Amino acid sequence: IYTVQSGDTLWSIALGHYGDGSRYLEIFEANKALLESPEHILPGQQLVLPRL
């Protein structure tokens, strides 16, 4: 579980967690029930970071 911080994007979270920002869609897919789109995340949201 990752708590979104101010200024985060799914790309930046993927880059920090996986070392590859292009994996942001995998984070989005794992959190589709919570997120409207990959571009719309809010500070405080808790995201599942899937194992690759």
1-52 pLDDT, tens per residue?
Answer: 999 999 999 999 999 999 999 999 999 999 999 999 999 999 999 999 999 8
- 2's CB contacts (< 8 A; 6+ apart) are 13, 17, 46, 47, 48, 49
In degrees and rounded to multiples of 5, residue 11 shows phi and psi of: -60, -50
Task: Give pLDDT, residue 52.
Answer: 84
Task: Give pLDDT, residue 30.
Answer: 98
- The predicted model scores a pTM of 0.91
Task: Give pLDDT, residue 7.
Answer: 97
